């Protein structure tokens, strides 16, 4: 089966996404990368209504993307398309594209009503990255409630570009890790209270890096009593930082109900012992207590960081188990082939046939 993977990335991320999508091909599935971000600025359609406006106006850049999309489908003899993140294809446009269409959700309930649910009717299948949704429903139940019954759980994964190949199980315990606690991610307002508590508890022993700016840092420090300045970090700095870290903390925008980020796999993939929110949903990715440790808020997280820093053998055991689990079950090439199998089963479920 020939599957087009439509995504939007720039710079170094675009390079390795393109490279690794193509490299995941096997005898059963051929994956063709298509970076729709090269044709159209997806920040212009972060909400479905914005895309509807552009489509109604017959925006020139949007139509240029659509022509390139159709040309690639024809030239590569595409049978199925996966569309990932900041979807630029209007449902009324997609209804005339004669391939099996798969929506890949990756942002969770924080943007579901703006980016995901409005597009469900335009796709034959949904692949969702996390089983979590809300206190009322899990994601599978929510999608069925919205009318998307042909849906499957398809987690994120560890890209080859996102781990240091020199790390081994033996090197995790070699004593070279000099950073006690690390967090790398966006400094979202919802994350600030917990990150501030952890930073104040551990001071310089805790390193915070990620997507931030002066305005957000000023707010963070004024609001939470000078916990520290969160500096931005280039992608090539991730791996050296993770190589030095003992414990990595994972914090999501809605806590347990948005668990499932790439960081969930990047940390253990680089030998970092991980403590994450996610509650009951963590077990969908790892074995809690063996591969990962869960936390239930700032107090619990601080206590567990202190415990595992004081009990090095336990920290190393969990770090090694997490490292082994990610590299056995959650690598990107394996994940892409799982997508091929899920799409094949999805086609069978609805008895899909390509139109003449």
Residue 138 has pLDDT above 90, yes or no: yes
Q: What is the pLDDT at residue 5?
A: 98
Residue 162 has pLDDT above 80, yes or no: yes
What would the pLDDT profile of 282-302 be if each residue is shown by its tens digit? 999 999 999 999 999 999 999
Phi, psi for residue 174 in degrees, rounded to 5? -85, 0
Q: What is the pLDDT at residue 23?
A: 98
Residue 236 has pLDDT above 90, yes or no: no
Average pLDDT of the segment spanning 82-96: 95
pTM equals 0.95
Residue 356 has pLDDT above 80, yes or no: no
Residue 136 has pLDDT above 90, yes or no: yes
| DSSP string computed for 305-345 | HHHHHH-HHHHHHHHHHHHHHHHHH-BHHHHHHHHHHHHHH
Which residue's entry shows tokens 């996102």?
Answer: 162
Which sign does the torsion angle of CA 167, 172, 174, 180 carry? positive
Q: Which domains are assigned to the chain?
A: 2-157+331-349 (3.40.50), 162-329 (3.40.50.2000)
Q: In whole angstroms, what is the distance from residue 199 CA to residue 197 CA?
A: 6
Q: What is the pLDDT at residue 47?
A: 95
Q: What percent of the chain has pLDDT over 70?
A: 100
What would the pLDDT profile of 250-280 be if each residue is shown by its tens digit? 999 888 999 999 999 999 999 999 999 999 9
For the chain, percent helix, then strand, then coil, each to nearest 5? 50, 15, 35
Average pLDDT of the segment spanning 210-215: 92
What would the pLDDT profile of 7-43 be if each residue is shown by its tens digit? 999 999 999 999 999 999 999 999 999 999 999 999 9
Q: What is the pLDDT at residue 253?
A: 87
Q: Which pLDDT band holds residue 185 (cuts at 50, 70, 90)?
A: very high
Q: In whole angstroms, what is the distance from residue 266 CA to residue 233 CA?
A: 15
Q: Which has the higher per-residue pLDDT, 72 or 353?
A: 72
Residue 170 has pLDDT above 80, yes or no: yes
Query: Comparing C-alpha atoms, which of 184, 177, 180, 171 is closest to residue 267?
Result: 184
Q: Which has the higher per-residue pLDDT, 58 or 210?
A: 58
Residue 309 has pLDDT above 80, yes or no: yes
Q: What is the mean pLDDT of the chain?
A: 96
Beta strands 2-7 and 80-84 are parallel
Q: Which pLDDT band holds residue 354 (cuts at 50, 70, 90)?
A: confident
Lowest-confidence segment of 192-196, 223-227, 232-236, 320-324 by average pLDDT: 232-236
Average pLDDT of the segment spanning 220-242: 93
Average pLDDT of the segment spanning 97-110: 93
Give the rounded distance of the alpha carbon of 13 from its chain centre.
Answer: 13
Q: Which pLDDT band holds residue 64 (cuts at 50, 70, 90)?
A: very high
Q: In whole angstroms, what is the distance from residue 325 CA to residue 212 CA?
A: 31
Q: What is the pLDDT at residue 184?
A: 96
């Amino acid at each position: 089966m020939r599957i087009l993977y439509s995504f939007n990335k720039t710079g170094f991320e675009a390079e390795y996404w393109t490279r690794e999508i193509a490299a995941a091909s096997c005898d059963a599935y051929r994956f063709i990368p298509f970076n729709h971000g090269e044709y159209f600025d997806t920040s212009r359609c972060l909400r479905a209504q914005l895309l509807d406006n552009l489509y109604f106006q017959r925006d020139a850049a949007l139509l240029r993307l659509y022509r390139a999309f159709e040309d690639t489908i024809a030239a590569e003899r595409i049978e199925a398309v996966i569309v990932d993140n900041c979807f630029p294809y209007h449902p009324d446009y997609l209804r005339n594209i004669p391939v099996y269409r798969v929506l890949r959700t990756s942002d969770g309930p924080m943007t579901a009503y703006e980016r995901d649910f409005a597009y469900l009717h335009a796709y034959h299948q949904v692949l969702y990255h996390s089983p979590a949704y809300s206190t009322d429903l899990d994601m599978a139940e929510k999608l069925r409630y919205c009318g998307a019954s042909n849906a499957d759980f398809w987690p994120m994964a560890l890209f080859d570009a996102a781990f240091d190949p020199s790390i081994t199980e033996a090197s995790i315990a070699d004593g070279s890790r000099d950073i006690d606690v690390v967090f790398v991610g966006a400094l979202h307002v919802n994350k600030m209270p917990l990150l501030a508590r952890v930073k104040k508890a551990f001071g310089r022993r805790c390193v915070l890096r990620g997507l931030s700016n002066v305005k957000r840092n000023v707010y963070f420090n004024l609001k939470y009593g000078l916990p520290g300045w969160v500096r931005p970090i280039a992608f090539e700095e991730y791996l050296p930082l993770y190589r030095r870290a003992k414990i990595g903390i994972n914090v999501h925008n809605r806590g347990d109900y948005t668990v499932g980020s790439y960081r969930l796999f990047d940390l253990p993939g680089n030998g970092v012992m991980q403590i994450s929110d996610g509650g009951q949903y963590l077990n969908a990715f790892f074995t809690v207590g063996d591969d990962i440790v869960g936390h239930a808020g700032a107090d619990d997280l601080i206590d567990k960081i202190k415990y595992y820093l004081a009990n090095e053998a336990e920290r190393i055991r969990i770090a090694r188990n997490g490292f082994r689990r990610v590299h056995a079950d959650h690598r990107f090439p394996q994940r892409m082939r799982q997508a091929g199998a899920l799409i094949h089963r999805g086609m069978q479920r609805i008895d899909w046939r390509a139109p003449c």
